[in-house]
A and B are shown apart, each in its own frame.
Chain A
Amino acid sequence: MEEKNCEICKRQGKKSLCDYHAKAYYNIVKNYEYWRDAYDELCWEEYLMKLIVNSECGKWVKEVAKYLISKKIKRLDI
């Protein structure tokens, strides 16, 4: 498979995100439903904003959230 650079940290990998940012992305997607139910119809963008300002969320999670907002992306193919 062709080598690609992570669109966030430029680290080399096989897909558009490196393994670390891909893991963070996976966790973001996995937890969305829980957050949506917790706050009653929380939209994707609001969810990402909440993650960015939350002190418990990891650095890679915040970086992925900012990236998704800046690119207006809902789902990544990783």
Chain B
Amino acid sequence: MSDTIIEVRDLVKHFPVRVGVLFKRVVGHVRAVDGVSFDLKRGETLGVVGESGCGKSTLAQVLMRLEPATSGSATFEGRNMLTMKGSELRKLRRDIQIVLQDPYTSLNPRMTVGDIVGEPFEIHPEVAPKGSRAQKVRELLDVVGLNPEHINRYPHQFSGGQRQRIGIARALALRPKVIVCDEPVSALDVSIQAQVMNLLGDLQTEFGLSYVFIAHDLSVVRHLSDRVAVMYLGKIVEVGTEEEIYEHPTHPYTQALLSAVPVPDPELRDQRQVIRLEGDVPSPVDPPSGCRFRTRCWKARDICATEVPELVTRVGNHPSACHFAEEKSVVP
């Protein structure tokens, strides 16, 4: 179970910024995703964390082929998934599915739950013969912990957590190999978050799924992920196993993020050191030269402005994109 299912290399997605009423002039690009590389192994969960606007969701859109990539490559089981067309793309759609962030807008309010979960079968009729679809929909609802008798209800009759389960059932319908979870729990209450995450974990064991799990909440990602990638301004700054990232972070940004995680133990709370970052995230239209984090980094020197730090292993045993990477345990 260690072979790579998705391999992403130097993936770039730039959105042109246009001005002008009649003749639109391109004045710059929003570098939403700017050279991202990672591997997703079969059956594993890759957590992607980062603050708002760092390009996590854009990455998901590009992987789902909802937005065309500007450059770079991505392969699914060895085949280039960015250039697929026609029947090959249809096949890819069956293998990669997405769970969206907002359960209130991701379900069509005018379709019954049965129609929503059954739609994948209508789009891919080869998956299930017509007669068996209603039964399959009931099974799916059962799998995600909903009452199969609610097939004729409408989304607004469900709570946020239940709606997210409907979204998960829809994504599961085609028995995909990979599910991209685009902040699937961010819009839910904390108590519901745990339920939905446990469901995702159970489904992974049951169906052998691989997840790309996008979130901005480090504790959420830790609960589910085997490996974690930390993104900042369109680039991955550090990637490693869950333990490497949480126990031995080497990139200052990761350390700052981790130091902001609340500690539930009042005894330990005084011991930890909080790293406060100054300023805001720079504009992705005009990112800083060299290291993108240098404008907010307390370690920044001259070299950070001139040389882009590559994502390579410098200290410890996982890659980190910092010239001055050093291990520092911030979570007591």
Are A and B a genuine interacting pair, yes or no?
A: no
